[in-house]
Amino acid sequence: MSIPRICMCGVFWLALLAFSLNPARAEVSLTTTGISSLVDGNVSRAEKTAFDDALYKAYLETALRFVPGSSSMELARGLRTFVSSRGNQDVIQYKIVSRSQLHAMLILSMDMKINEIPLREWLQGQSLTTPLDLRPRIILVITTRGPGQSERHEWWTSSTPKGYSPFETQLAKNLREAGENVAGPPLHITKPPAGPDKAIILADSTGADLVITGLLSHKSIDATMMESRLDLSLMDSRARQRLTSTSTTLKGTVDEKTMHDLLIAAVMGQLREGIAKKVVRVKPVVSDRTLCIEGIRDNNTYQAIITALRSMAGVSSVTISRVQGHTACHILQIQGNLQDVMESLRQRNIVPADMIIEGDTAYFRILNQ
């Protein structure tokens, strides 16, 4: 081999090493669209707003790969705050593919590459990655009194409960939309419980981990004015422990359903904080696997393969471990199995290649063209 050829080969491998030894990050590549209104012909402001819209959609699309459907509404409520807090610091690269204007709207189509690690950490911290069946099972045992003198609802006093009260029904709906695992009342009760431990007894009999119990009292002040007081406790039925308690009183000229919505809004945050103490935070198991890329002839092809790997949802990091001749071996940190990663790489059609998996090691053999 001539000296110039040796030098060029050395430069090639130095470039390869520099690319592969970048700090580990999980890159995801997406195509997204941002939309903004043009106000007073201010194109630069509209373009910034459209960029922010496209970035939010990129985060949302990425997050939905990790968040179960039961938590999607809660994700939508909290994601914008997270995106605002990050600014553009997770954007690795972006390119405006097309720019168009429809009436007074600016539309940007963009290719965007973002670092998804901060997003994944935030999702796990918010328990948004926890599937419904791993969340604590919750039952509601809340007495409703009024607004009439004789009006009272306690579903557990009947051996065949007819269902939750209107207030319990609305609270259960809101909690479910937030991703919580709320059960309905049992179809049959052998012996309706009584006394101060009735909520715990009911939770035990239905297999609930947590119980929200308390009293809602409505009182009509006059023909249009109603006063409502809500006292609730969140109990751990296994530990016989109170996790949180809250009280609130509201007065207004509203109907009963609107009053329920206002009361729930007042206590929802505290209830969710208490429930969060018992939620298992799911972090997918990450395992190390080896991938050897053989027959590397140019840096562009190699970089395309590594970029494709780093953009995959199941790949946490790609680190080069050994270089010999035209072969480079890497440690992949993956969630799931190696076969799925290699199948995904094959579908990218980056370069003709053979793929073999032997135990925990995969071989990607680039074919001579």
Cα-flanking dihedrals φ and ψ of residue 181, to 5°?
A: -95, 85
170 and 270 share a domain?
Answer: yes
What per-residue confidence (pLDDT) applies to 10? Answer: 45
- The answer to whether residue 13 is domain-embedded is no
Q: Which of 346, 184, 237, 366 is nearest to 292 (CA)?
A: 366
Q: At 70, which helix (H) or strand (E)?
A: none
3-state secondary structure of 363: strand
190 and 297 share a domain?
Answer: no
- Give the residue from 92, 125, 158 where a domain finishes: 125
Q: Which of 90, 86, 101 is nearest to 43 (CA)?
A: 101
348's tokens: 């990218």
What per-residue confidence (pLDDT) applies to 162? Answer: 83
- With beta carbons less than 8 A apart as the criterion, state whether 305 and 297 touch: no
142 and 266 share a domain?
Answer: yes
145 and 89 share a domain?
Answer: no
- The answer to whether residue 5 is domain-embedded is no
- Give the residue from 125, 146, 170 where a domain finishes: 125
Distance of CA 264 to the CA centre of its chain: 24
154 and 260 share a domain?
Answer: yes
Quick check: bond before 196 cis, omega within 30?
no
- The answer to whether residue 62 is domain-embedded is yes
Contacts of 147 (CB under 8 A, 6+ apart): 218, 219, 220, 226, 256
Annotate 32-66 with DSSP letters as a single string. EEEEEE--TT-HHHHHHHHHHHHHHHHHHHHHTTT
171 and 253 share a domain?
Answer: yes
Name the residue range of residue 105's domain: 27-125
What per-residue confidence (pLDDT) applies to 133? Answer: 82
251 and 344 share a domain?
Answer: no
Annotate 233-268 with DSSP letters as a single string. EEEETTTTEEEEEEEEEEEES--HHHHHHHHHHHHH
> The CATH number of the domain where 296 resides is what?
3.30.70.100
SS percent in the chain: helix, strand, coil, step 5: 35, 30, 30
Annotate 318-356 with DSSP letters as a single string. EEEEEEETTEEEEEEEESS-HHHHHHHHHHT--S-EEEE
What per-residue confidence (pLDDT) applies to 5? Answer: 41
- The answer to whether residue 12 is domain-embedded is no
215's tokens: 């009293």
2/280 Cα distance (integer angstroms) = 61
331's tokens: 């440690």
Contacts of 32 (CB under 8 A, 6+ apart): 54, 55, 57, 58, 61, 109, 110, 112
- The answer to whether residue 37 is domain-embedded is yes
What per-residue confidence (pLDDT) applies to 17? Answer: 47
- Give the residue from 221, 243, 276 where a domain finishes: 276
**Ranges of the chain with pLDDT below 50:** 1-24
Q: How many independent structural domains does the chain possess?
A: 3
Length of the chain: 369
- With beta carbons less than 8 A apart as the criterion, state whether 292 and 363 touch: yes
246/242 Cα distance (integer angstroms) = 11
